[in-house]
Structures are given as structure tokens and as C-alpha cells.
Structure 1
Amino acid sequence: MKKSIFVFSFIFSACLIFGAKKKMPEWITLPASVYPSETYMNGTGSGENRESAELEAVKNLSSIFGQTVKSNSLASKKMEQALSDGKVSFSSSGNLQQNITSQIEAENLIGIEIAEYFYNSSEKKWYAIAILDRKKTAAVYLDLIQKNDAVVRQSVAESEKNPHSFYGYSEICFATDIASENDRLLKNLTVIDFEQGNAISKEIVSLQSMQAAQKKFAEGITIYIRIGGDRENKIKSAFQNIFSKYGFKTSSSKKEKYGLEGSYSSEISKRGKITYCVYTLNLDFSDNLKSESLFAINLKGREGAPSESDAKNRTYRVLEKNIGTEFSKNFDSYMNNLSFK
């Protein structure tokens, strides 16, 4: 009888030792008790493997900062060079693994690190917690913002030395792009440390002031337009619309620094019931003061319709579309290739 009791006790004890569930760490059940909110921000995640758990944890933490909207101008060679030279900086992914940095905007990973992970064998699930040290990360953001602001001021000063020019315009656009990124960094800093974010916002050049400055600078650039053969001024009107989107003004005076000159010709032909308008448009965009061609545009084509008037109208519609595409492509390329003096 005693032997039976001993065997039962041994089996029961073994069940307690080997069958008991592993206790969940407190950072999973109550993260703030381990990583106090006044010192840290955190995000937890779980998954079938450690990598997926870490990724979810980082996503949950970085989502606090919202979505990152990138400026199209960041693709410019000026910005690429500035980033390459370390003159400006908008991100720092620290020691996070590549599978995380490749799936989340690097701009929202500053200061984030995986603090702990845990495997629950009974659930066959991994857990991870990502943390952000408020004090340390705020210092990183502050440094980035101040360095970028110095470049903003430098570019604004450069634009002021080159008024009424595309070079000056490119500099002020560059400054606005950096101010836009700094605005995002500032918003993130304010989430991490409101007092520091509020204080630095009063010291740096704001995005709103840069947008206003860019608009004012653009209004100081006037472009002369003359297109021979454009009897109805439809091609001229198309370019006026394009330039107005940039904020530039247009003129019929040759005294302007920049000029768009060219010629338009068309021929009408018939084939059966279809009337065709065969057209050629040759344009040159120049810096008149330097007697330098910035770029040329050459468009040729043929548009058909039941009547001559319809063929001509169709031609102008197609030209308007192609002019917008070709000019924007060439002008943006020219602006992006303007390098630091």
C-alpha cells in the first residue's frame, strides 16, 4: 500500500514539473510595469516565429507616429547628394534586423530596439517587445532636426543670393523639402517628449514659412513665350497653365531672363473619309541672359477625324497632353541636375 502511494506521489509530482505551463513574462501581460511609460514607449507582438513577433512589435510601436508621406522631390540629385554626404539625415534604424528595416519606413524606426523575446511552448508562439527610450531618442531627434535646420537656412541664404533664377528656385525648393522632413521629425519628437518638441519648434524654420517663401520666390520668375505659327495661342495657353502650376509668371517681353521660343506648323490631308492633321512643334527653353539653351522639345504626329476642325481640335488636345508630359519631364530633370555651387 505504501509503495502504491509512493508511485502515485512520484507520478503526480512529475506531472507538476513537466506538464506545468511556462509563466508568461510580465512585459507581455503588463508592459508598463516593466517599462514605465514615463521613461519608455513600447509595442508588443507575437507570431509563429521570432522574426514575425519582432516585426509586429516594431510595427505596433512605430505606428504611433502615423504614416510617412515622402516628398517627390526627395529623388532629386541634390537631395541624394546631401544624404550621401551626410549634410542632412532623416532616419536611423539602429541595430534592427534587415527583415524589419525593409518593411517599415526607416524614418519611424529611430530609437526603436527589441528589448526581449519569449517562446511559449504550449502555445507554440513567440512574443517580443520593442521599446523606445524617450530621453535617448529625443536627443537623437533633436540633433537631426537642428542639423537639418542649419541646411535649410544655408539653402535659403543661397537662394537669396540668386534671385529670379532657377538655381535660386532649386535651392529654396530643396530647403522646403528638408523643412518638410524636419516637420515630420518634429511631430515624432513631440509624441516622444512634448516639451522638447514644443521648444525646438519655436527655434527652427517652419514648413509653413518655407512654403510661403517658395511661392513668393516662384512669383519672381517670369518666362517669355513666343511660338510662331500658334495662331490661336492654344500652345502658348498650354504653357501658361504649366508655368502657373509652378507659380511662375509669363510675359511677351524678350527682356525676361528665361524664354520659351519655337515654331508650330501643320498640314491637312485627306484619306477617304478621314481628315488628318500632320503637325510639328519645335521648342527651345533658354536662359536669355547667358544665351544658353536649357533643353529642347520636339513633337511630331498625326491626328485624324471626320472633319478638318475636328482633326485640328484633336491635335491640340493631344499636343496639350504631350506638352505637359514632355516639358515637366525635361524641366524636372534640369532642376534635379542643378548641383551645389
Structure 2
Amino acid sequence: MDEWKLGLLILLAPMLITGCKTLTGGEPDWMANPKAVYPEAQYLVAVGEGDTRHAAENAADANLSRIFEANIHSDERLLDQSRESGGAFERTTDFTADINILSSQTLHNIQHAESWRDERARVHAVAYLDRRETAAIYRGMIDEKNARVHFLMAQAEQSASLLKKYAALRAAGRHAAESKLLLSQLKVIHPPSVPGSTPGYSKNNLRKALADTAKQIRVQIQIAGDDEKRITSCLEELITRYGFVAGQPGVLAVDGRIVVTDTGQRTHDLVFVRYELAAQVKDADGTVLASINEKGREGHVSVEAARIRSFRTLENAIESRVALRLDTYFNSLVDESAQ
């Protein structure tokens, strides 16, 4: 077992003992001034209240997280460019920021001491982090993330497959973003520990390598029956989120067919159409990487309005399901077990 994980288990043990005590009677000192009981040089501390002990501890945890900001956002901004050349549509995307993690603040090694019930039966609880002990855990987690980044960057460098190279760099970017989040928390918990945990790789170089690799992945899209190019445009928008280029010749190909027909069914105020979309994403060898098969019906006041509604339904399905299946595919190309 990793040393930092063992340390975490050891540090959690006191919580099971001290965390089961609820005081009554006079107000404890930590209510008026938590830092008097938990000195700021050694601890980060916050107090919360609720109808139950569990609710009070959750409130204390939330107040503790506000010290670090409620949410950390590292936006992934993309510069989208498109042009037509020789009858072929080409669309490229430049990455201008880190691979993104949008998450509520998650803190590690939060501990709870006693709680106190006031005369109104409201429960108050204290949550705290021991700065030095928690810093040791964070250093271990950051070191693990950084080691994975180095491993995946090396894996990408050695890969002869463009898709595997992209997948490795994409995974490296995700671990780098997680490391950055942990490091930002460590800066608050124990600033002296930060220099020793700063990553040895360049995040800018990692971003550039991912963007450059993504631009080499061209995707040819052919959807029969898509006369208005609505499904084609939706697929183009999807692949640019990965940094790929829509054009020829394709490293990947999206082939499919869309059919929307009037069912002939009418009610007193609705007209119904039936829709069906079948599409597959394939690599150069013809292996299916992701697929979508959607069928159903939509109703509206006219055939055209019902058609528009059916396309919106299909666009939502593409954005969610095809993206999820592509993510699953690229994740499957990454072998982190060899580390």
C-alpha cells in the first residue's frame, strides 16, 4: 500500500473515536472562536450547524471548502475556425487553455471533533484539517498524478498510432489538471510544501502536443439524406470539441443515414413525423469505434415544425451519446497499468 494511503488510514482512525461525542450544556470555546482551540498555524477550521449532527458536519465541511473557493474552474476555451477548400469543408480547433476539470471543491482528510447541541436543539460541529498531516497526503497524491503524466507523455512519444498518441496525451492532460487542482489546495493548506510538489513537466508543452496531434486527425463525414446538413453540422461541432479537423482524407470516418417522414397521423392540432438516424464512427481499418441508432416520432402543428423538433432530438442524442462512446473508446486505448 502506498505510504500516503497508509497515512490517510492512520489519520482517519482518530475521527472514529473523537467524532462520536456530542456535547450539551455550556457553549464550547470553538463556537465563539474556533482558532483559539485550533491554532491557525496548525489547522484550517470551520464550524457548521444543522438539525442533526450529520447535517452540521456537512455544513462545517462546506464552510471549510469556502476557504478554498466553492468551485475551481479552469475553462477550456477553443478557437473555432472553418473554411471551404476545393469543395471540402475543413474545420479546425485550437486549444488555448488547460484540459478542463469543473468540479465542486473536494477536500481530503477533513476531520470532525466533538459537536454541540444548543438550547434550541440545533447541532453545531467543527471540521478541521491538520496542515502538516494533510500536506503529506496531498504531496503523495500530487506525486502520483505527476508520475502518471510523465508516463503517459512518454507513452505518447513512443506510439506509432496517431489515435493512441492522442488518447495518451488526452489522459495526461486530465491527470495534469487534477494535479493542478490538488496543488492549488495545497497552497492553502501548507504553502511551504508547494515548491517540492511543483510538476517537472511543462503544461504548455502538453497542451501544444495534444492540440498538434488532434489537428492531424481528420474526420470525413457522410450522412445520406441530410439535405439540410443539420446532422452533419452537429457532428462537425462534436469532433471539433476533440480538436479534430473535419475534412478529407479521413483518419476517422462517420457514415450514416437520416430519414424523417410524415407518418400521416393527425390529431385535432398535431402532425406527426417519424425519424430514424443510424451512424457509425470508424477508423481507417473500418473498425467501429462508436455508433448511434435513434428512432422515434415527434409531433407539432405542422410537418415542418415536427421535422425541426425531430432534428433537435437527434442533435441532443449525438451530443450526449456519441461523445460518451468516443470518450470510452479513447480511454480504452490508454494503458496505465504498465506504470
Under TM normalisation by the shorter chain, which class is it?
A: 0.5 to 0.7
Whose RCO is larger (CA < 8 A, sep 6+)? 2
In structure 1, the gaps of 5 or more residues are 1-20, 72-104
Q: Does 1:225 align with 2:228?
A: no
Query: In the alignment, what sits opposite 1:298?
Result: 293
Q: Match of 2:335, SS?
A: coil
Matching residue of 1:258: 252
Q: Distance in 2 between matches of 1:57 and 1:267?
A: 57
Q: Could you say if the C-alpha distance between residues 206 and 123 of structure 1 is closer, same or farther in structure 2, counting changes exceeding 3 Å?
A: farther
Q: Is the 8 A contact 1:116 1:130 kept in 2?
A: no
- 1:141/1:185 contact within 8 Å kept: yes
Residues 48 and 294 from structure 1, CA distance in 2 versus in 1: closer, same or farther, beyond 3 angstroms?
A: closer
Aligned-partner Cα distance in 2 for 1:279–1:124: 59
Identify the match of residue 240 of structure 1 among 236, 239, 259. Answer: 236
Q: Which has the larger radius of gyration?
A: 1
- Cα distance per residue 1:285-340 (max 9 Å; x no partner): 2111x332223333445667888777766665554444444433432343344452
- SS of equivalent to 2:187: helix
SS at match of 1:330: helix
Residue 328 of structure 1 pairs with residue 323 of structure 2:
yes
Structure 2 equivalent of residue 36 of structure 1: 39
Deviation for aligned residue 1:223: 1.1
Deviates more, 1:187-196 or 1:207-216: 207-216
RMSD: 4.3
Taking a change above 3 Å as real, the CA distance of residues 262 and 183 of structure 1, as seen in their structure-2 partners, is same
Distance 1:206 1:116, change over 3 A: farther
TM, length-normalised to structure 2: 0.63
Equivalent position SS for 2:40? coil
Higher strand share: 2
User: What is the total number of aligned residue pairs between the two structures?
Assistant: 283
Aligned partners of 1:285 and 1:293 also within 8 Å: yes
Q: Secondary structure at the match of 2:293?
A: strand
In structure 2, relative to structure 1, the CA distance for the partners of 1:130 and 1:328 (3 Å cut) is: closer
User: Offset at 1:135?
Assistant: 1.9
Code of the aligned partner of 1:286: K
Q: Cα deviations across residues 35-86 of structure 1 (Å, max 9, x unaligned)?
A: 3322222234566766555555444334322335699xxxxxxxxxxxxxxx
In structure 2, the partner of 1:171 is 168
**Structure 2 CA distance for aligned equivalents of residues 139 and 314 of structure 1:** 55
**TM-score for the superposition, normalised by structure 1:** 0.63
Q: Structure 1 residues 119, 246: closer, same or farther in 2, change over 3 A?
A: closer
CA-to-aligned-CA distance 1:137-170 (integer Å, 9 cap, x gap): 2222112111111012212222333366443333
Percent identical residues? 29
**Contact residue 223 and residue 258 of structure 1 kept, 8 A:** yes
Which deviations, in whole Å up to 9, do the C-alpha atoms of 1:253-291 show, x marking residues without a partner?
Answer: 3xx321122345566786789987666544332111x33
Specify the alignment match of 1:65 in structure 2: 68
Match runs of 1:1-341 below 5 Å? 26-45=29-48, 54-68=57-71, 108-116=106-114, 128-162=125-159, 165-198=162-195, 200-201=197-198, 203-205=199-201, 210-231=206-227, 233-253=229-249, 256-264=250-258, 280-288=276-284, 290-300=285-295, 316=311, 319-338=314-333, 340=335
Contact 2:57-2:112 at 8 Å conserved across structures: yes
Distance 1:339 1:210, change over 3 A: closer
CA shift in 2, pair 1:133/1:106, >3 Å: farther
- 2:271 and 2:122 mapped to 1: Cα distance? 72
